Amino acid sequence: MDRLKVLLQYALPKRLLTTFAGRIASAKSGAATTRLIRWFVGKYNVDMKEAADPQLSSYKSFNEFFTRPLRAGARPLADASFICPVDGAISQFGAIDDGHIVQAKGHRFTTVELVGGDPALASQFRGGSFANLYLSPKDYHRIHMPCAGRLMRMIYVPGELFSVSPTTARGVPNLFARNERVVCVFDAGEFGELVMVLVGATIVGSMETVWHGVVNPTRPKQVVEWTYDDQNIVLEKGTEMGRFLLGSTVIMLFQHGIVEFNGDWAPEQSVRLGERMGDCPI
């Protein structure tokens, strides 16, 4: 059954489906929008008690509901060098082995591929560490900073729009390095350089960052880069850095010797924003 689900994705008109879903999600259709939200909350068991506004009828569009903020104090920040930046589940994490990242059992991809073909950027993470975190439909969909960082670059990399579910990660080679993605590069001070990659997927209408807004409104066919080293865009640990309009995956890259992951972490384990991700052993 899993193999069939994966094979179907190769045949589906993923870009057309994504465009259609984006239009539905952004529509302000009054009672129809509220019915859609109510259905979604029931199907995925979304905990609205954690939302800043738990009233379903107050959301004018599905996107507004999907990217809803949390109520104050819902996610306290752990006393750790690095906190978990999202609500979701751990796909994989560990060492970057010979420039490769584990996607799933039997599948790996390179850091060069992930960051859009920039060998100089990828080389900064030789012998470093990575963490892949998957956001399911029921999860909170804003992405926060695992530590403080100064924004240096942002790179939009065009690509496919496969689902990023665990089933697809097990079945589609190079999934995270072939899907559309936004690569954000930060100077994290004492923790060196940090990369956060927002990976697009089927029906992910768009990806946003707090400094740019929607990064991929027209989905250009070539790599696009923005540099910010002449600006002082600093985001503190725990502050929002971006969001998905429908669910996806975040991949983080750390330089060598910078992070020692939480000993309780394991693949497929659920995690929440603000929890201890790891500490710097140095």
Active site residues: 87, 144, 248
Look-up of token digits 């800043």: 52
User: What is the C-alpha to C-alpha distance for residues 136 and 201, in angstroms, rounded to an integer?
Assistant: 12
Question: In this structure, what are the phi and psi dihedrals at residue 29, rounded to the nearest 5 degrees?
Answer: -115, 25
User: What is the C-alpha to C-alpha distance for residues 235 and 78, in angstroms, rounded to an integer?
Assistant: 17
3-state secondary structure of 209: strand
User: What is the C-alpha to C-alpha distance for residues 262 and 250, in angstroms, rounded to an integer?
Assistant: 18
Is 96 within 8 Å of 125 (Cβ atoms)? yes
- H or E segment at 169? helix 166-171
Q: How far is CA 207 from the centre of its chain?
A: 9
Look-up of token digits 């985001």: 235
- Conformation bin of residue 45: beta by default, left when phi > 0, alpha when psi is -120 to 50: left
Look-up of token digits 């029921």: 138
Look-up of token digits 């697009």: 200
The CA distances from residue 56 to 59, 63, 65, 125, 210, in Å, are: 6, 12, 8, 43, 25
User: What is the C-alpha to C-alpha distance for residues 116 and 159, in angstroms, rounded to an integer?
Assistant: 10
